[in-house]
Amino acid sequence: MIPGKFEYHVPADVGQAAALLRHYDGEAKILAGGQSLIPMMRFRLAQPEHLIDLSKVPGLSYIEERDGHLAIGALTTESELEHNATIRDRYPILKDATDVIADPLVRNLATVGGNIAHADPANDHPAVLLALRADVVATGVDGHRVIPIDEFFLDTFVTGLEPDEILTEIRIPTAKSGTGSAYLKLERKVGDYAIGAVAVSMVVRDGVIAEAGVAMTNVSPYPVRAVQTEAALVGRPATAATFAAAAETASQECEPSGDNRGPEEYKRAVIRTLAERAFSLAAERAN
């Protein structure tokens, strides 16, 4: 289908983009890679009166380590993440995720900022950023603010961004020594959204799990950290027995609903298996 009528704006910088958002007061939407928004507009699930295209806004696409975190500009594409050496060597969970997002054509356009601003529980980056305890930088006409990722996803397709705010940066704490992370996803076919997926980041010291962040994809109404599963890992030895027990907790803690990707029980079983493998892979990488 063809999208409904809209006015198209191309601001030259973030300030202009934020001013347009404020001016159109809830009637405008940011356009980044368009890989989620345009399909929704074609199906008339979204009918914004104004589109504010960020593609000519400079300085929003970068991946750099500074001041104790990895900073990723909101307009950084999936392919840029996929081929970045720092990501590959030091943040393997991000590489795991980008590798299984859609297909190369989509990854050339889709942005990381758009992936989380869309707040689709089926998208892959929310769980990864929850497990990594990232922060999100929001910019509006009045300046910046930092939103902890735990406060960012409020409901299905709903975030903590104000209607006149733009997501400009994602900050991930620099990986400490002894950190291992992994993201494992099961999909019906290559390029599809997850039947289920598990993201984990853990710090292992002297064979014991000192810290853990766990979140799951497409098995809850909106992205949220799996706190019971984290508690089943922290303070315990990084062994197969711990991982099996924590994976069982994950399968109980998730809230899948039956759909064309399978019934609830099947999804719980998928999560159990993926979680056990992801915990084990993260511990191996921590070494």
Ligand X SMILES: Cc1cc2nc3c(=O)[nH]c(=O)nc-3n(C[C@H](O)[C@H](O)[C@H](O)COP(=O)(O)OP(=O)(O)OC[C@H]3O[C@@H](n4cnc5c(N)ncnc54)[C@H](O)[C@@H]3O)c2cc1C
Residues in contact with ligand X by CB under 6 A are 29-37, 39, 74, 101-102, 106, 110-111, 113-115, 117-118, 123-124, 161, 166-167, 191, 193
Name which of 127 and 282 has its Cβ closer to ligand X: 127
Name which of 30 and 131 has its Cβ closer to ligand X: 30
Smallest gap from Cβ 166 to ligand X, in A, equals: 4
Smallest gap from Cβ 29 to ligand X, in A, equals: 4
As a whole number of angstroms, the distance between CA 196 and CA 216 comes to 7
Smallest gap from Cβ 127 to ligand X, in A, equals: 9
Name which of 35 and 179 has its Cβ closer to ligand X: 35
As a whole number of angstroms, the distance between CA 285 and CA 20 comes to 45
Name which of 203 and 256 has its Cβ closer to ligand X: 256
User: 25 to each of 29, 50, 267, how far by Cα in Å?
Assistant: 10, 10, 40
Smallest gap from Cβ 237 to ligand X, in A, equals: 33
Smallest gap from Cβ 46 to ligand X, in A, equals: 7
Residue by residue, DSSP assigns 195-233 as EEEEEEEEEEETTEEEEEEEEEESSSSS--B-HHHHHHH
Name which of 30 and 254 has its Cβ closer to ligand X: 30
| CB 21 within 8 Å of CB 166 | yes
As a whole number of angstroms, the distance between CA 284 and CA 198 comes to 16
Name which of 123 and 181 has its Cβ closer to ligand X: 123
Smallest gap from Cβ 281 to ligand X, in A, equals: 20
DSSP assigned state of 151 = G
The number of C-alpha atoms within 13 Å of 254 and in the hemisphere containing its C-beta is 32
Closest residue by beta carbon to ligand X: 114
Name which of 54 and 246 has its Cβ closer to ligand X: 54
Q: Which distant-in-sequence residues (6+ apart) come within 8 Å of 59 by Cβ?
A: 14, 73
Q: Where are the alpha helices (DSSP H) in the chain?
A: 14-24, 37-42, 78-82, 85-90, 92-99, 104-107, 112-117, 125-131, 227-233, 240-253, 264-286
Smallest gap from Cβ 276 to ligand X, in A, equals: 22
